[in-house]
Structure 1
């Protein structure tokens, strides 16, 4: 979206009467759903500015940047006019922390042809993210098509609304939701920002993050059930390297901290985490079976076993199977057996999964073709993913790996064209660091 600003940078404020919201308040279900998600409307401003929205460009040249307050919404709205070489844009930007970002939740960007004035599209942003939006485009004088993108992944496309795009430019977002309710499962897109599960996930991630500096990265390191830092492969102590973990050792350290907070007397036994999680499908892969010295399934088995032990430690939980914690069913995404999902699309996937099942974090076994002589499909890294929505309805995704607070972008950069197999774990209310520098070794 390459455009430049038009007009003076003078801010003026207006306040419009409720006016029964122009007969827009007739979608109570959709309004409640959006409101609970802290997704705020700016239809008051757009409706009051209908003449400007439909005016030819030349008549808007002197239009100044304006800030408008609203009666039925808690956020102010900034209107701005911009133009590109052959189009002009009418921006209605919701306030966010006393600023008005272009890519903000609930923002409308109306694009029109510079010469003809025709409406070309409307973008409505679902998150504070350039790649998370609904795009409305005209089909004819009385119909509009809709597509939806979430963090760069198109999840809905080709949905037809029996209303002109001009009409939708001054309609509420609740009306868009209502017109598409038989085609879009809006309960999969919006969630209640006040759910206590969100704070539980966020709190656990913060608590773990407070202690990660006590650890440092070391090949094949982990803390065993006796509290010693040892080599995972051999069980031999790592002399003089307390706090030394690799990615697997870090995931175990987190699991041990949760288990100890639930009353466990000791950390997990390393050998129990190496146990194969399944064998039948592996036997069908003679190439991998012939190179078991490479331990190609280690990360998958380790993360599955951690998730299983954590599930069984939950009060009242029955004994869990090795595959019970696999994340296999996420709307719009196809699960590949023992491989999982594309790492590149993980943020949109975890957004939808968090809406579907609040209160979980995920152990991820990163996998792809890996190594040389031979090149094998291998599970070579483990990371932890903590998804939640904050009180403003903004989606947050914390990534922790190898004793560090990382990011999904960092992970994607280091492991391009990879997949991640996810095992889900219910976020615990407690976490006790299994080791600190002043601990007895």
Structure 2
């Protein structure tokens, strides 16, 4: 009996510890919340306003701060774990760096209860389980029912999933419990980050960054399969000239690459292709059309005068070349499944309201505002892949007509702490993802997948 009793005690202790630190390797406040239901989670707003923030430790020694926050329509009780940041203290000419404790609202392990300000009734609860605060699980109370949402970078990966537990049960439920309740109804595989899978991605990024200072933008320019500077449109040699129109000697062009946006993307893929077969991709092959238009339709008529799908064809054919080298068999974007065409998200969150999001549109891609959530999920589900993006936007000739006239490369990844990042390269420059999304607001991006590799040897600076 003593042995059985001891095993029960050990099992109970293990369960408590498991509740305080779950399979996502984040701290949990469930045990703390069980002690503050009457003092923090159910009192009226006037009572809560009289409280100062409170600090409590869970069973494994993680300190949580409990505090009130409010805005015009809602108030919330935040239960957030401690983390630390470096702060530079400036005193005259000297700078001293000190570590300061902070309790961020969206930190991994945070739990937030929102209540309506007029009636005081609870409206929703948020569990933060990843290192990115714009990825979280949310529960909403509607009458006697409880619904769950999985939010990823402003889009719903799951929306209004019925959960068979009373809303107030979530006041004390651990994250491991809610994950168990929703394991079949929430797509956890889309947000479960596995670290240390992005070595080849970061090797490629490092090589590109090392070469950025060598790039000079030149419209219509790229290197052919033998490294000769050519016009994409005519296939003719390009002679680099100075401002007066005089040819510049090759010896003066050391450490320079002259490339258009399409030429820059080709330079990256050639860094994968050329080491395997001794030469790069052919301009003629990359311009092969990948779409057919109805000859009497509007796009068909326009396509007889303008190339409406230039960068879509270019990116699809580049991805096909990279695939054929890696797989040792010839394939195109269709047979190799190189188009990214998932529709993981149905609606988007904007200014607190739901906005319809179209997801993937065939031969058009994704709305730019939808791109960050897609890249996040792709980084989770397809580690060690990067993406060529063909940008569809208003034509410079007819702004109301959308054409594929520019391209970009995305390298999504998670760092060693599990935080999402994405390197973005466009026209020989690095641009942040946020700036890219703002720059191309209202446009579409069609994505092609390419496997990252450590055997990446782009044309050296010349």
- The TM-score with structure 2 as length reference comes to 0.78
Corresponding position of 2:433:
408
User: Which residue in 1 is equivalent to 2:107?
Assistant: 104
Q: Does 1:263 align with 2:276?
A: yes
Which structure would you say has the larger Rg? 2
Give the distance between the partners of 2:419 and 2:399, measured in 1 at CA. 44
Q: Which residue of 2 aligns with 1:168?
A: 170
**Per-residue deviation, 1:117:** 4.5
Corresponding residue number in structure 2 for 1:299: 311
The answer (yes or no) to whether the contact 1:140–1:164 under 8 Å persists in 2 is no
In structure 2, the residue matched to 1:237 is 238
Q: Secondary structure at the match of 2:203?
A: helix
The corresponding residue for 2:369 is 344
The secondary structure found in structure 2 opposite 1:160 is: strand
1:311 aligns with 2:323: yes
The equivalences for 1:235-384 within 5 A come to 235-239=236-240, 240=248, 242-260=256-274, 262-278=275-291, 280-281=292-293, 283=295, 285=297, 287-314=299-326, 316-323=327-334, 324=336, 325-332=338-345, 334-373=359-398, 375-384=400-409
CA distance in 2, matches of 1:140, 1:300: 48
Residue pair 1:208, 1:431 contacting (<8 A) in 2 also: no
Gaps of 5+ in 2: 1-10, 86-101, 241-247, 347-358
Shift of 1:47: 3.1
Deviation string, structure 1 residues 55-95 (Cα, Å, up to 9, x no partner): 5244444543345444458x543332223356432112234
Match in the other structure for 2:228 = 228
* Contact residue 108 and residue 133 of structure 2 kept, 8 A: no
1:213 aligns with 2:224: no
Distance in 2 separating the partners of 1:184 and 1:137: 15
CA distance 1:252–1:140, change in 2 (3 Å): same
1:61 and 1:244 map into 2 onto residues whose CA distance is 63
Supply the distance in 1 between the matched residues of 2:68 and 2:455 (Cα, whole angstroms): 50
Post-superposition shift, 1:308? 0.9
Partner of residue 182 from structure 1, selected from 174, 181, 184: 184
Aligned residue pairs total: 407
Task: Name the SS of the counterpart of 1:318 in structure 2.
Answer: coil
Structure 2 CA distance for partners of 1:373 and 1:55, relative to 1, 3 Å: closer
Instruction: Give, in angstroms, the shift of residue 134 of structure 1.
Output: 2.7
SS at match of 2:225: coil
Deviation at 1:382, TM superposition (A): 0.4
Give the corresponding residue for 2:419: 394
Q: In the TM superposition, what is the alpha-carbon distance from 1:228 to its structure 2 partner? A: 3.0
CA displacement at 1:354 relative to structure 2: 2.6
Contact 2:205 / 2:423 at 8 angstroms: preserved in 1? yes
- Structure 1 residues 244 and 282: CA distance shift in structure 2, 3 A: farther
Indicate how the Cα distance of structure 1 residues 317 and 289 shifts in structure 2: closer, same or farther if over 3 A, else same: farther
Aligned to 2:201: 201
Q: Distance in 1 between matches of 2:237 and 2:300?
A: 27
1:105 offset after TM fit, Å?
A: 3.0
- For the structure 1 residues 72 and 283, does the alpha-carbon distance in structure 2 shift closer, same or farther, using more than 3 Å as the test? farther
Aligned counterparts of 2:153 and 2:184: Cα–Cα separation in 1: 24
TM-score (ref. length: structure 1): 0.81
Shift of 1:409: 2.6
Q: 2:137 aligns to what SS in structure 1?
A: strand
